[in-house]
């Protein structure tokens, strides 16, 4: 075989080989492209792609929000939020002046008393004076006449009945009173300490009728009258007691029953005479 024929055969063989290589290369490219395709599941379905969360831009939290969002530590109590207090409303000076200078309407005057009402009130005042002095017999008769004459004056008559019952009770108790001066004085001191000044005055007066020159009885009567507010008669009884027994001045200086007489000039002269 000649050289030319060998060359032609070699060329044709090389061309044949190159065509095969090209097919292999092309076949390889196709296979690689198929490999990149998504694989199907055994059931023939493609796997679902995981949903990707969209990124949201958020602003940075402030210090107050961090404190509110942060979980509370165990054993640590959150401080209570202060309750907002309402500020008092401001009052204008003009409003205050108007309120102060505004003329208040006076209440309507009471209706005038009728003839029976005025007469019943006068009789009640007279009977009450006798009752406060311990003259229960006179007070009883006056209260009884008031109730009989003016029963239509309901308020005054009701009060008169109350005093009438008390006066009758006092008179009934007089029957059980002791007869000697010392026992009457002791009962008077008991009533004075109890605050029953009217009863104490009556007992001291009864005791003086039996023993008129007893200094301690005059002194007790002065204390009782001072408690009742009868200043003049209280000073008279105290003067009589100090004349009979001058050493009672020391007792009178600190006696609370005579407090109503302390502002009287005569009391200063009677009690503090000769004081250094």
Domain hosting residue 260, numbered range = 181-271
The tens digit of pLDDT for each residue in 91-122 reads 667 776 776 666 666 677 778 888 889 999 99
End of a domain among 174, 189, 216? 174
The tens digit of pLDDT for each residue in 35-80 reads 444 455 444 455 555 544 555 555 665 665 565 555 555 555 555 5
Higher pLDDT, 53 or 197: 197
Which CATH number does the domain housing residue 263 bear? Answer: 1.25.40.10
* Residues 192, 247 share a domain: yes
How much is the pLDDT for 237? 95
* Residues 224, 250 share a domain: yes
Q: Is the pLDDT of residue 7 over 60?
A: no
Report the domain count for the chain: 2
End of a domain among 150, 174, 198? 174
How much is the pLDDT for 180? 86
Identify the band that residue 21 occupies on the pLDDT scale cut at 50, 70 and 90.
low
How much is the pLDDT for 17? 52
Q: Across 75-84, 85-94, 132-141, 209-218, which has the greatest mean pLDDT?
A: 209-218
Whether residue 218 is contained in a domain is answered as yes
End of a domain among 174, 199, 214? 174
Q: Supply the DSSP string of the chain, one letter for each residue.
A: --HHHHHHHHHHHHHHHHHHHHHHHHHHHHHHHHHTSPPPPTTS-PPPPPPPPPP---PPP-HHHHHHHSPPPTT-PPPPPPPPPPPPPPPPHHHHHHHHHSPPPPPPPPPPPPHHHHHHHHHHHHHHHHHHTT-HHHHHHHHHHHHHH-TTSHHHHHHHHHHHHHHHHHHHHHTTS-SSHHHHHHHHHHHHHHT-HHHHHHHHHHHHHH-TT-HHHHHHHHHHHHHHT-HHHHHHHHHHHHHH-TTHHHHHHT-GGGGGGTT-HHHHHHHSTT--
How much is the pLDDT for 168? 87
In this prediction the pTM is 0.41
Higher pLDDT, 275 or 103: 103
Q: Within 13 Å, how many C-alpha atoms sit on residue 194's CB side?
A: 11
Whether residue 20 is contained in a domain is answered as no
* Residues 265, 190 share a domain: yes
Q: Are 170 and 191 in contact (CB under 8 A)?
A: no
- Tell me the average pLDDT across 182-196: 90
* Residues 266, 185 share a domain: yes
First to last CA, the chain: 181
Whether residue 101 is contained in a domain is answered as no
* Residues 196, 165 share a domain: no
* Residues 198, 142 share a domain: no
The tens digit of pLDDT for each residue in 214-261 reads 999 999 999 999 999 999 999 999 999 999 999 999 999 889 999 999
How much is the pLDDT for 61? 59
Which of left, alpha, beta for 134 (phi over 0: left; psi -120 to 50: alpha)? left
Q: Which of 135-149, 163-177, 236-250 has the lowest mean pLDDT?
A: 163-177
Whether residue 59 is contained in a domain is answered as no
How much is the pLDDT for 59? 62
* Residues 197, 241 share a domain: yes
Whether residue 13 is contained in a domain is answered as no
| Residue 19, both tokens | 């065509």
- 178 Cβ contact list (under 8 Å, min separation 6): 184, 187
Whether residue 102 is contained in a domain is answered as no
Q: Which of 33-47, 74-88, 171-185 has the lowest mean pLDDT?
A: 33-47
């Amino acid at each position: 075989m000649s050289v030319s024929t060998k060359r032609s055969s070699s060329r044709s063989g090389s061309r044949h080989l190159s065509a095969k290589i090209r097919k292999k290369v092309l076949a390889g490219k196709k296979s690689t492209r198929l490999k990149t395709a998504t694989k199907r599941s055994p059931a023939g379905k493609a796997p679902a792609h995981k949903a990707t969360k969209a990124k949201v831009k958020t602003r940075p939290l402030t210090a107050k929000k961090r404190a509110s969002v942060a979980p509370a530590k165990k054993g640590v109590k959150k401080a209570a939020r202060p309750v907002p207090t309402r500020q008092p409303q401001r009052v204008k000076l003009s409003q205050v002046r108007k309120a102060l200078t505004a003329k208040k309407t006076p209440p309507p005057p009471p209706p005038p008393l009728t003839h029976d009402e005025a007469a019943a009130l006068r009789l009640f005042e007279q009977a009450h004076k006798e009752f406060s002095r311990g003259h229960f017999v006179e007070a009883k008769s006056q209260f009884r006449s008031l109730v009989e004459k003016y029963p239509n004056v309901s308020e005054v008559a009701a009060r008169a009945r109350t005093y009438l019952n008390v006066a009758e009770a006092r008179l009934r108790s007089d029957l059980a009173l002791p007869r000697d001066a010392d026992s009457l004085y002791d009962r008077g001191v008991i009533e004075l300490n109890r605050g029953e000044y009217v009863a104490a005055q009556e007992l001291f007066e009864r005791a003086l009728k039996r023993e008129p020159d007893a200094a301690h009885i005059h002194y007790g009567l002065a204390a009782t009258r001072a408690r009742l507010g009868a200043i003049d008669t209280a000073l008279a009884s105290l003067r009589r007691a100090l004349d009979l027994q001058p050493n009672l001045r020391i007792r009178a200086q600190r006696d609370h029953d005579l407090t109503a007489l302390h502002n009287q000039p005569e009391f200063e002269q009677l009690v503090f005479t000769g004081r250094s």
